[in-house]
Amino acid sequence: MIQSYALFTILFSLPANGDEISDLVRKTRALELYIQDEQDHDKYCSHLPWEQPEIQVYREKLESQLTEQCQKRVMKGKAQEE
């Protein structure tokens, strides 16, 4: 619930013009990745050591920051759930 509120707040709290929209999209995507990594690590890789980077790293790279080993476990786990 808090995560949904955070996304809602980010999406609707800023005025929207060209540069702000692209910045908003980037920040939103980074937040989604940050939350997804946290959830995936807890669900599929909690036994593996990993320290989640700050949100700024996600904003710069816009990609998962999970280890390669954990990413493989996540993909395998999600495939089995389907």
Tens-place pLDDT, residues 4-51: 556 555 555 555 555 666 889 999 999 999 999 999 999 999 999 999
Nearest to 57 by CA among 38, 22, 31, 23: 31
Instruction: In whole angstroms, give the CA distance from residue 71 to residue 63.
Output: 11
Question: What pTM value is reported for the model?
Answer: 0.74
Domain count, the chain: 1
Range of the domain at 26: 2-6+17-81
Examine residue 11 and state whether it is found in any structural domain, yes or no: no
